[in-house]
Chains A and B, each alone.
Chain A
Amino acid sequence: MATDTTQALRDTRVPRRVRSGLAEVTRHLARHPIGLTGMVLVLLFVVMAIGAPLLAPFDPLAQPSQRLLPAGGGHLLGTDEFGRDVLSRIIHGSRVSFQVGVISVGIALMIGGTLGLVSGYYMGLVDSLVGRLVDIMFAFPSVILIIAISGVLGPSMTTAMIAIGIVYSPIFARVVRAPTLVIMQQQYIEGARAFGAGGLRIVFRYVLPNIAAPVIVQTTLSFSTAILSEATLSFLGLGTQPPYPSWGTMLGSGRKFMELAPWVVVYPGLAIALAVLGLNLLGDDLRDALDPRVRRGIT
């Protein structure tokens, strides 16, 4: 179908069987400073997330000082409207972003990936039905859907993760479906079947290795957009609930004090931008590393 052509051009490439060993990737990164920067940024935030309790000078929920203090006196980035240390909250905020990224993308991968596999494997009617479902999800304004799901389940970080996960599934379904279709139509599949290979075996042996590359690329991309989605939700008050520090919530609740204390909004936004930038740099580079012919598109 033409829609596939369109979609395929946008987000999937039919890969060759590229051996993407870890060694190759590392070698590649060393030669490409952009990817390296990305890796460094991502690692920085990962370290921040894991080591938050040790790295943060203050408890992110404690209100030790006067409110809206500028940088200085133990508070490297100042205090917020409750007298909480902004730096500590940003460090702990990385945990939220990391968690949300991992879990929501995980959910999307599981749901979408399964749908895509099923669709590509069985083809025919199943494919059409799933295709319709995916179309519906795509046509639905995603922000609205995320908000509605959050509303139904009650706004919280967990709900945000589930909602984002559900809404991101169609992308993974599409990313997985096209190459699966192509592979299933190859001759060696018939051959394998003739030898008595069952469905699961076919999937694991032939399909999965070949869809690994676009899936990895999509995962990195979706990770970064998931962080943005969570930030938007929290900004609107629907994601991570106060008083827990999410970069989006900090921005949202700090906005009214912006003119009096700009640091309350500048730094959380900067954190989001840098984290997402790191992921994008890395993702861009991964795409190049895993498939050097990616820019060609399909012929």
Chain B
Amino acid sequence: MGKYVLRRLILLVPTLLGISALVLILMRLLPGDAVDVLIGTEAMIGPEQRRTLTRMFGLNDPIHIHYLRWLGEVVRGNLGVSLRTGETMTKVILQRLPITAELALLSTLLAWIVAIPLGVLSAVRRNGGLDFTAHVLGLVGLSVPNFWLATMLLLFTSLYTGWQPDLIWVSPFKNLPANLQQMMLPVVSLSAVLMAVVMRMMRSSMLEVLSQDYIRTARSKGLRERLVLARHAFKNAAIPVITVQGIQVGYLLGGAVVIEQIFGMPGIGWMILNGIYQRDYPVVQSGVLFVAVAFVLVNLLVDLVYAYLDPRIRYD
């Protein structure tokens, strides 16, 4: 097992190298650079001034030097400095990460709380009214675009209720109730899809497990139904659900980009997007790198948990 983990971690390196190279290539391919963004649509500067500014931003290196220089810095733990604001990326990411993380975690939590019991119940009471409703709801949850859901929720609250979310983000450490109140709508919008996926996964895997021989055996032994369900069925059914979590990180980030914009939350998704618009290479490079690392590590964790839970799986 240890060797497996080690191998996966080592494989992380070429993956990250590939990603960061890809980011830099794409960014350099984007027409316009940070100096252009700085100049803006009105000001007019001469070629010498432009040269000075380009040098100030360190943008006149050819791409391979640029990449190697950046790599050298990263290895030393220096993620670079934003071209626009001069802030260190480490500081910026640490500032913005908790917001996206809170959004992602709360969405996942909400999804589990709602979807897992729903999935189990609809598997147990198969083909009943609950099952049908849950099935349909699940499909609806998958189909509704999260930004539309967010917009509808905002519209609904502003038109029909007296209450409107504040839309000015407040840290949970400064004011927890206000923060949770703010996070309500974004979390619901983002978690709808997750709820649907988890519920469907839970249901189908539960169904599969329930039809297995060992469940029949347990039942025939006279064990109480509830015990059967809880002990044997659920534990095994939960396994595929956990594996689904791994790929959901990708969805969470993608959704976060739009949700963060709609609700004015200063998170990482929006940071990266803005970095692209402003050609702020260090922002995009470090942001994407960070996200990729998180993605791969979460997947690794998921696979390990999976192996722990399912004794049939063995990694060489």
Contacts and interface: CB of A to CB of B under 8 A. Distances in A.
Interface of A: 2-3, 5-6, 9-10, 34, 132-133, 135-136, 138-145, 147-149, 151-152, 224, 228, 231-232, 235-236, 248, 251, 255, 258-259, 262, 265-266, 268-269, 272-274, 276-277, 280-281, 284, 295-297
B121 interface: no
A5 B313 contact: yes
A132 B19 CA distance: 11
Given A136-B15, A139-B19, A277-B139, 9 more contacts: A6-B243, A34-B135, A132-B18, A136-B19, A141-B253, A144-B253, A144-B288, A273-B144, A281-B139
B308 interface: no
Contact of A141 (B4, B11, B18, B291): B291
A104 B205 CA distance: 31
Interface stretch (B24-32, B34-42, B71-79, B215-223): B24-32
Given A265-B151, A295-B207, A138 B18 contact: no
B155 A6 contact: no
B101 interface: no
A141 B139 contact: no
B29 A273 contact: no
B4 A251 contact: no
A232 B147 contact: yes
Contact of A140 (B22, B145, B257): B22
Contacts of B18: 132-133, 136
Contacts of B302: 6
Contacts of A138: 247, 250, 295
Contacts, number: 153
A297 B208 contact: yes
Contacts of A140: 19, 22, 288, 292
B272 interface: yes
Given A10-B247, A141-B253, A259-B159, A151 B152 contact: no
A132 B15 contact: yes
Contacts of A231: 145, 147
Interface string B301-316: 0110011000001010
A136 B21 CA distance: 11
B233 to A, nearest CB: 14
20 contacts: A3-B303, A6-B302, A6-B306, A136-B19, A140-B292, A141-B288, A141-B291, A141-B295, A144-B257, A147-B276, A236-B258, A251-B148, A258-B154, A265-B152, A266-B155, A273-B144, A295-B207, A295-B208, A296-B208, A297-B205
Given A2-B4, A6-B243, A151-B276, A265 B208 contact: no
Contact of B254 (A143, A235, A280): A143
List the 3 closest A-B pairs by CB distance, nearest first: A269-B148, A143-B254, A277-B143
B254 A276 contact: no
A145 B31 CA distance: 16
B151 A255 contact: yes
A233 to B, nearest CB: 10
Given A132-B15, A151-B30, A281-B139, A139 B315 contact: no
A273 B186 CA distance: 18
